[in-house]
Amino acid sequence: MVEKISCGLKSLGLKSGDHVGIISQNSHLWAMSDYGTVCARGVLVTIYPTLTAKQAKWIAQHAECRFMFAGDKEQGEKVLSLLPELKRVEKVIILDNTPFANEKIMSFDDLLIAGESYRKEHPDEFERDAISIQKDDILTLVYTSGTTGEPKGVMLTHGNLTSNISSSINVVVADGNDVFLSFLPLSHSFERMAGHYLATSVGAKICYAESINTVADNMLEVHPTLMTAVPRFYEKVYAKIIDSISAGSAVKKKIFWWSIHNGRKAFYRKLNRHAIGPILGLKIKIANKLVFLKLRERIGGRLRFFVSGGAPLASEVAEFFAAAGIYILEGYGLSETSPVISVNPLERPKIGMVGPPIPGIEVRIAEDGEILTRGPHVMKGYFKNDEATREVIDNEGWFHTGDIGMLDEEGYLAITDRKKNIIVTSGGKNVAPQPMENVLVTSKWIEQVLAIGDKRKFVSALIVPSFPNLEAWAKEQGLHWKDREELICLPKVKDLYDRVIGESMEGFAQFEKVKHYRLLANEFTIESGELTPSLKIRRGIVEKRHADLIENLYSEDNDN
């Protein structure tokens, strides 16, 4: 099929270096279209299917796409509405073959037919194109989420990605017996490399989840051995398990937490290369039978490990799963670094760290704490933006990540926060908001949170409640409300969140703690512009929209 797609694109006039956009949900056809494009020496431009028509248009225009793949009727209609403005686009291929009455739109089946004819006329061209690819040739344009300003097109070469795959395989060990369950968008560089290219390179099987909402069911269907996900996925699973245990009997709770306690002890003994011992070993056998095997069965029963990336994972969550023998290998990277810089090894994962740099990659910490990296994984640059490229890649080839971190004595990397997100209070205290935000969202009562406090007396937060849980609780309490705005203002609700936030902040220094907060009635969404396509909060936009609310948070406090 890859050869037919490649030849089909050539039949349409694709030339080496032409840009081909793809806007589609995950599927095997997404993967085949990727390989077909790059084998024809085209450059695949990934566009999140969750983007609005306006956002998709901006990327397609900026990337100068000549051809586009659209996944289904919805994405096809989105692209069709943009065609009058996408002057460079010559043909749109609909992957699910939905018919459109437009000469610029063709079905995927028709592309394959055209490819078969072209292959017969040019029998050696596919192989000749594929083997002529050079490591410095651009393979893809990946547009950054853009938490500030317009997204930038990251140019990644064949050499960037092949080096990152071969280095990552040394740590994330996989083979042809593995089964990957893919559900993160393939437009995301993390999923595309770890859940797509890496899996294919070792001959593993890739199963695509029907949707984010069916992942739990799909895990029971396909019994994956490896999965990649972002921290929010693990946090939600963790919160659901804790909620289930909290609703159980006193005996059930006691057995569960006894098991977790002993599992945690066993994990840290192994981590520190100490023997578990016969007594603890017996306790783990009992815990496995009573608790841990059931937990592992809920995620398919065969999982060897998870891989987490895209944002820092709360230590509490990682430690909980490790105690149950379910390891989450936290890694670190950016789109600009292909993307993996470091990842925890399975034999010795450190909680709260993102592992040592993968082979062939250099990492150092600048004087101001910023993480710098150099090696074959660093992008070629930003498309049509030399100035931005010079801002992040210095004359010695070091890429400036924009993240603050540190290396421990064993070379493991730890991430503090984004450099631009560090809060400096009016008292001169530096506060990294991400650790406290990570702890808060592990609560069943909190869906989203944004910490605030730069140039202010103290740290405050905007909090979006987990409304399904809050509304169920409020009904049990006999509360009455007409809408969410009224619900979040109820005194009992405030008492609940005062307690939740107070308990969550117990491990933080006094100047780091959230002193005041406001509950919000509406979630941050991609559609509202408050979330990026990779679900990161656009801090500047949120703070601007809630400027009056934030001012009230500080004006009401005159004690400090």
DSSP string of 429-457? -EE-HHHHHHHHTTSTTEEEEEEE-TTSS
Q: Domain boundaries in the chain?
A: 168-377+402-419, 422-555
Burial of 294 (0-12, 13-18, 19+ CB in 10 A): exposed
**146 pLDDT above the threshold of 70:** no
Tokens 């503090």 locate to: 416
Longest dimension (CA), the chain: 81
pLDDT, one tens digit per residue, over 429-485 is 889 998 899 999 999 999 999 999 988 999 999 999 999 999 999 999 999 999 999
Q: What is the CATH code of the structural domain delimited by 422-555? A: 3.30.300.30
**149 pLDDT above the threshold of 80:** no
Q: What is the DSSP string of 325-383?
A: T--EEEEEE-GGGSSEEEE--TTSPPTT---SBPTT-EEEE-TTSEEEEESTTS-SEET
CA atoms within a 13 Å half-sphere pointing along the CA-CB vector of 129: 24
**Axis crossing angle, helix 278-287 with helix 250-271, rounded to the nearest 10:** 130
Judge contact between 284 and 276, C-beta under 8 A: yes
**418 pLDDT above the threshold of 90:** no
The verdict on domain 168-377+402-419 having CATH code 3.40.50.300 is no
Report the pLDDT averaged over residues 213-218. 93
- Do 168-377+402-419 and 422-555 come out as alike in CATH topology? no
- CA separation for the pair 340, 343 (Å, rounded): 8
Q: What is the DSSP string of 62-105?
A: HTT-SEEEE-SHHHHHHHHHHTTT-TT--EEEETT----S-TTE
Q: What is the reported pTM?
A: 0.87
Judge contact between 314 and 442, C-beta under 8 A: yes
**145 pLDDT above the threshold of 80:** no
- What phi, psi does 200 have (nearest 5°)? -65, -40
Q: What is the pLDDT of residue 105?
A: 96
Work out the pLDDT band at 341, boundaries 50, 70, 90: very high
Report the pLDDT averaged over residues 43-67. 95
**Axis crossing angle, helix 467-476 with helix 491-504, rounded to the nearest 10:** 120
Work out the pLDDT band at 428, boundaries 50, 70, 90: confident
The structure tokens listed for 409 are: 């004595």
Q: What share of the chain is helix, strand, coil (3-state, %, to 5)?
A: 40, 20, 40
pLDDT, one tens digit per residue, over 304-330 is 999 999 888 989 999 999 999 999 999
**148 pLDDT above the threshold of 70:** no
**559 pLDDT above the threshold of 50:** no
Contacts of 75 (CB under 8 A, 6+ apart): 23, 24, 49
Report the pLDDT averaged over residues 116-143. 96
**426 pLDDT above the threshold of 90:** no
User: Amino acid identity of 87?
Assistant: K
**167 pLDDT above the threshold of 50:** yes
- CA separation for the pair 89, 474 (Å, rounded): 53
Q: What is the pLDDT of residue 560?
A: 44
Lowest mean pLDDT: which of 263-267, 282-286, 547-551?
A: 547-551
**11 pLDDT above the threshold of 50:** yes
**412 pLDDT above the threshold of 90:** yes
pLDDT, one tens digit per residue, over 366-409 is 999 999 999 999 999 999 999 999 999 999 999 999 999 999 99
Q: What is the pLDDT of residue 52?
A: 87
Judge contact between 227 and 190, C-beta under 8 A: no
The structure tokens listed for 132 are: 């002529």
Q: Percent of the chain, pLDDT > 70?
A: 98
- CA separation for the pair 193, 200 (Å, rounded): 10
- CA separation for the pair 391, 410 (Å, rounded): 30
Long-range CB pairs of 499-507, under 8 A, 24+ apart, other chains included: 500/443, 500/445, 500/446, 501/440, 501/461, 501/463, 504/436, 504/439, 504/440, 504/442, 504/443, 505/436, 505/439, 507/439
- CA separation for the pair 153, 58 (Å, rounded): 11
Judge contact between 120 and 102, C-beta under 8 A: no
Q: How many CB atoms lie within 10 A of CB 494?
A: 13
User: What is the three-state SS of 215-271?
Assistant: HHHHHHHHCCCEEEECHHHHHHHHHHHHHHHHCCCHHHHHHHHHHHHHHHHHHHHHH
